[in-house]
Structure 1
Amino acid sequence: MRLFTWNVNGLESLLRKGYFADFVNRTSPDIICFQETKISRRKLARWSVATKDWNCFLSVCKTNEGYSGVATFCLSHFPLIKAEEGISGFLSAECLSWNPSRSWFCSQRETPNWRETTYSVGYHFEAREDIGLLTKLDKEGRCAIVEFPYFILFNVYVPFDSSDETFEYKYLFIQSLLKRIKMALESGKNVVLCGDFNCARERIDHCDPEGVIQNKPRNSSFESDPCRQLFNEICGCKGPLVDVFRYFHPERLDAYTCWNNQTGARKTNFGTRIDYILANRAFVESFVTDCDILSDIYGSDHCPVYIELRNVLPVSQDSLHVERLPPFCCRHFPDSLGSQQSLKDVMKVSINANCSKIMESGPHFVGAISFKRTAVTVRSSTVASQETERYSQEDKYGATLLSRKRTFDHSTCNEMDAFSNEEYYATVRDSENYLHSTKYQKAKEDWRKLFQNRQRVPLCTGHNEPCLLRVVKKKGPNLGRKFYVCGRPIGKGKEGRCKFFLWYDKQDTRY
């Protein structure tokens, strides 16, 4: 039995490009915890995340569509007890009123809080003055809790501290998470905590703990970060949980789970380990047999982390009935009712589907110019809707259209009656305009390459290789200014990027 955690940086992109199918086929997961799904409720029916063979617990951002979000998938034959959204327990139990006809749904008129229902996982702390901030964080879709017979699974996406305000959110989130975990452990429950913590625990988990290579020196020591100290209270030497990866691989170096795609840091393995699976020591010693990082699986700027478990969840036929699932399950969402399918059907969605649609539009467009009587009956609205696809075809379609126009003979004159002269000349005019625009774009590209090649690209001093031209995107006096840097990805040693830097100047005759 395998449990995975993965920050996918957009679940829709993962499905559309086929990475999700590759991931499932290679790993055969039993439980998957996704972070940063960036999927909204209105897209649930399109992607059908509520599949028949998987149960999904999805927490979406309620304040900013397409932001944050976590999702927990588990095989449908695993028995479930309860499920809850958020850490505070003060979110409105909106899903309890979706289908009030079922007896096990809450019958209260007003929508209650999770902590007020029997479907809450429980073990809440008392209300505090900062409960408003914590509820605001919960509305961003940063936590989904599922209780299985032998353990409670926390799937979290910790905020990134880019400012003083977000630092306060992050510290409060980790602090509240620690309190709730301790309460669950004190009640005798096993706890598994996984997700993206946006924090590297120790120096061994960071490629550049002092910020020297990235030219971003820290104002304070690596260990003095308040959020890092609080995080280590959860899984440190005296913490309630264990870092499962370090439990099995205490001395492994260069074990990272996140890289900067803009600098190509994954090629040189210049990253950080900020994705974790934590569990209480008794559970690890009794049930966990292995833990590792799958850095060869792509689709995001993060990679999956998994633990191998003994079969702690027995198969239960009763769990197949939707009525026995917690109300928070996606199979109860009104958006998903009637659209549920198997996971294999979901995995068929890939980027190749878009290519097939483009190729299918070609024959219809060519057939319209061959003056077939079947094409004559196409309405003008349909022709207008295909106009954008017509211009997206390759040059071979334009050449085919022109050749058909030139080889037009009297044998087709009888079929011209179905076309008005206006429609005919409009179609021919469109094809000629398309060819003209294509030739213009090609000539423009040739001239651009000609002048670009006349200006020599400087070579970096560290590797004597051509540099890359970059643009300053950070706000300030140099915004929009171009500069040259080493063409290699950022990293350590000679294989990484050297410190070459040169401002781009059109008037500089040296290059």
Structure 2
Amino acid sequence: MKIVTWNINGIRTFRSGIKKALDSLDADIICVQETKVTRDLLDERTAIVDGYSSFFSYSRGRSGYSGVATYCKDRATPCAAEEGLTGLLTSHDGAVGCYGDQTGFSNEELQLLDNEGRAVITQHQVTSEDGTELITVINVYCPRADPEKPERKQFKLQFYKLLQSRAEAILKSGSHVIVLGDVNTSHRPIDHCDPSDIDDFKENPGRKWLNRFLHCNHDDQDGGDEDLDEEQEAPETHSEGGKFVDMFRFFHPTRLNAFTCWSTMTGARQTNYGTRIDYIFADCELAKGQFVGADIMPEVEGSDHCPVWGELRCCLLPSPKPPPFCTQYLPEFTGKQQKLSRFLVKMDQKMPQSDGKTELPGSQEEDEKRENLNPRGQKRPADSALPKAKKNKITKPHGNLLAFFKPKTANVVSPVEPTDKQSENNLNQDEVNSTPNPSVTHRVTDTAGVCPSRESEEDKHNVRADGLTSHAPTHASDSKKGSVFWKSVLKGPPPAPCCKVHGEPCVLRTVKKEGPNVGKQFFVCARPQGHASNPEARCNFFSWVEKGK
């Protein structure tokens, strides 16, 4: 039995072929996080994969955000499955059950903890030398504690507390338990690229929770095992910790630079400047009795995370059919005709999201749709609907700005193409007759030049600087003047200085964090972020862009 967990940073990671991607991972149970897909955006190609049963959890209040999914091969079809940790989202048979003690949570808090689509639970039957047993796989995407949102720190800790309560309750019921996914906390200094850069590393509440959740923590080693070789045996330490084991450290207690997440903004994957925040946790008995290996897969790209795998010696017993929570049973994928009331209810649920104050960021597809909509939500009137008197004044669309500064050709062509000689003579005749001074009727109608209907020989030689008429030599001079003017108005990016260490051009960045410097620009070394001891990594060059440059 082999399991894999991977934060895919969007279901589009599988755009080249989801079945091909799943098969390449070569696992019986594949758990993915941060799918960023809601039910209304889930297509059949993603939900129904030949040879697999799938189970999705979605964010209820925010599109293009969070979400987890578990894909099980046919030989690993679960006997029970459900969404969430609280049980509030389960209204069908075939649920896993065992919800633990929830007295420390309010009903509103429980609903919010499950409202972001952060957990899918599947239960499987396996055979081993001890007979037939149950293994419950909890696929989670734990919240990130945004430093600018203090309330999210508490939300994250409450999620941890609920996760531990549910996992221990299932374990107590007699099933083995595997908790895996993106936990969003690096446990020990060895799991972080630069722990010395973090104040009070050990005092982080997430790390304290991991110390309580895991049975064997190495807190007293203080990262000292980083000097040991992989083959050396790490000092065995025990504590009164929890009931679960970090399977990667179980097999690789002293491996250095073993990270699963890197910043894409700084190119940190190139220098392996990352953290290990993706885990496979198993209960102690299962870890010691059935696991034969576990490791990370940094060679697999496509996301800012890499997969983590674990393998057990026990064999799976597939269920005859998937539990009711399986995606294939959703009405939109069963091929059955749906009632009109279903669509009406679905529409009512979406209506509150249109409120500008509560609307949350949408997915990429929704953004593209909004950009392509007419700002007023109306179709442009057809040409035939315009008044006849205004039809003759319609001109071709203007080109780009630089076309105004190009020299005019000697043979100027009218933007309105006459169909015969008579229509050319009659063009704008009413306009000319009603103008006291015909010499000022020449106007720029498109990027090609001026209307030639009343152009005199004097106009061809007496060129005006305002661009109403043109003469090649003078226009070239005016073009240069105009170019200088526009360059002074539309300033491009300032010239990039070279960093002092590498002597290479820097990159321009903008401060986006709220504060006194928000919006200001600065230059930094263009190389990827890395440890200060790595000469190939970014140096500490920094320079503000001065105002007016």
Which TM-score applies when normalising by structure 2?
0.63
Tell me: CA distance 1:314–1:126, structure 2 relative to 1, closer, same or farther (3 Å). closer
Deviation at 1:120, TM superposition (A): 2.4
Partner of 1:145 in structure 2? 121
Deviation at 1:52, TM superposition (A): 3.8
Partner of 2:27 in structure 1? 29
The Cα offsets for residues 269-326 of structure 1, whole Å up to 9 and x where unpaired, read as 111000000001221222221111111111111110011222420356x23xxxxx21
1:64 aligns with 2:62: yes
Partner of 1:293 in structure 2? 296
3-state SS, counterpart of residue 68 of structure 1? coil
Partner of 1:233 in structure 2? 212
Deviation at 1:507, TM superposition (A): 5.6
Amino acid at match of 1:35: Q
Amino acid at match of 1:289: V
Partner of 1:465 in structure 2? 504
Amino acid at match of 1:328: F
| Whole-angstrom distance in 2 between the partners of 1:58 and 1:92 | 13
Amino acid at match of 1:125: G
| Whole-angstrom distance in 2 between the partners of 1:158 and 1:502 | 37
Which TM-score applies when normalising by structure 1?
0.67
Deviation at 1:474, TM superposition (A): 1.7
Partner of 1:487 in structure 2? 526
Which of 542, 545, 549 is the matching residue for 1:501? 542
| Whole-angstrom distance in 1 between the partners of 2:40 and 2:159 | 27
The Cα offsets for residues 240-294 of structure 1, whole Å up to 9 and x where unpaired, read as 0110000110000010001110011111111100000000122122222111111
3-state SS, counterpart of residue 134 of structure 1? helix
> How many residues get paired?
377
Amino acid at match of 1:133: E
Kept after mapping to 1: 8 A contact 2:22/2:30: no
Kept after mapping to 2: 8 A contact 1:36/1:67: yes
Amino acid at match of 1:73: Y
| Whole-angstrom distance in 2 between the partners of 1:196 and 1:295 | 15
3-state SS, counterpart of residue 110 of structure 2? helix
1:10 aligns with 2:10: yes
Which of 194, 218, 226 is the matching residue for 2:180? 194
3-state SS, counterpart of residue 242 of structure 2? coil
Matches within 5 A, 1:178-217: 178-211=164-197, 217=198
Partner of 1:337 in structure 2? 334
Matches within 5 A, 1:360-371: none
Larger Rg: 2
3-state SS, counterpart of residue 199 of structure 1? coil
1:133 aligns with 2:109: yes
Kept after mapping to 2: 8 A contact 1:42/1:335: no
Partner of 1:348 in structure 2? none
Deviation at 1:452, TM superposition (A): 9.7
The Cα offsets for residues 361-391 of structure 1, whole Å up to 9 and x where unpaired, read as xxxxxxxxxxxxxxxxxxx9xxxxxxxxxxx
Amino acid at match of 2:302: G
| Whole-angstrom distance in 2 between the partners of 1:232 and 1:328 | 33
In angstroms, what is the RMSD of aligned CA positions? 3.4
Worse-superposed segment, 60-69 or 121-130:
121-130
Deviation at 1:455, TM superposition (A): 6.5
Deviation at 1:490, TM superposition (A): 0.9
The Cα offsets for residues 420-468 of structure 1, whole Å up to 9 and x where unpaired, read as xxxxxxxxxxxxx9999xxxxxxx9xx99xx999965311122222211
Kept after mapping to 2: 8 A contact 1:19/1:299: no
Tell me: CA distance 1:119–1:452, structure 2 relative to 1, closer, same or farther (3 Å). same
The Cα offsets for residues 208-233 of structure 1, whole Å up to 9 and x where unpaired, read as 2232xxxxx53xx1111122111221
1:253 aligns with 2:256: yes
Tell me: CA distance 1:79–1:19, structure 2 relative to 1, closer, same or farther (3 Å). closer
Amino acid at match of 1:130: F
Tell me: CA distance 1:137–1:471, structure 2 relative to 1, closer, same or farther (3 Å). same
The Cα offsets for residues 59-110 of structure 1, whole Å up to 9 and x where unpaired, read as 11111122111101001232422111111112352xx4xxxxxxxxxxxxxx
Partner of 2:74 in structure 1? 76
Kept after mapping to 1: 8 A contact 2:504/2:526: yes
Kept after mapping to 1: 8 A contact 2:19/2:49: no
Kept after mapping to 2: 8 A contact 1:37/1:69: yes
Kept after mapping to 1: 8 A contact 2:523/2:545: yes
Partner of 2:234 in structure 1? none
| Whole-angstrom distance in 2 between the partners of 1:287 and 1:496 | 41
Higher helix share goes to which structure? 1
| Whole-angstrom distance in 2 between the partners of 1:313 and 1:77 | 7
| Whole-angstrom distance in 2 between the partners of 1:456 and 1:27 | 46
Kept after mapping to 2: 8 A contact 1:52/1:76: no
| Whole-angstrom distance in 2 between the partners of 1:86 and 1:232 | 24
| Whole-angstrom distance in 2 between the partners of 1:136 and 1:453 | 46
1:276 aligns with 2:279: yes
| Whole-angstrom distance in 1 between the partners of 2:262 and 2:64 | 22
Tell me: CA distance 1:456–1:122, structure 2 relative to 1, closer, same or farther (3 Å). closer
Matches within 5 A, 1:78-477: 78-91=76-89, 93=91, 96=92, 118-128=93-103, 130-131=105-106, 132-149=108-125, 150-162=134-146, 163-211=149-197, 217-218=198-199, 221-237=200-216, 238-315=241-318, 318-319=320-321, 325-338=322-335, 456-477=495-516
3-state SS, counterpart of residue 148 of structure 1? strand
Identify unmatched segments of 5+ residues in structure 1. Answer: 97-117, 212-216, 320-324, 340-379, 381-432, 437-443
Deviation at 1:21, TM superposition (A): 5.7
Deviation at 1:167, TM superposition (A): 1.1
Kept after mapping to 2: 8 A contact 1:84/1:121: yes
| Whole-angstrom distance in 1 between the partners of 2:448 and 2:104 | 68
3-state SS, counterpart of residue 182 of structure 1? helix
| Whole-angstrom distance in 2 between the partners of 1:144 and 1:265 | 31
3-state SS, counterpart of residue 522 of structure 2? strand
| Whole-angstrom distance in 1 between the partners of 2:328 and 2:509 | 47
| Whole-angstrom distance in 1 between the partners of 2:29 and 2:256 | 27
3-state SS, counterpart of residue 268 of structure 2? coil
Worse-superposed segment, 243-252 or 307-316:
307-316
Partner of 1:110 in structure 2? none
Deviation at 1:505, TM superposition (A): 3.1
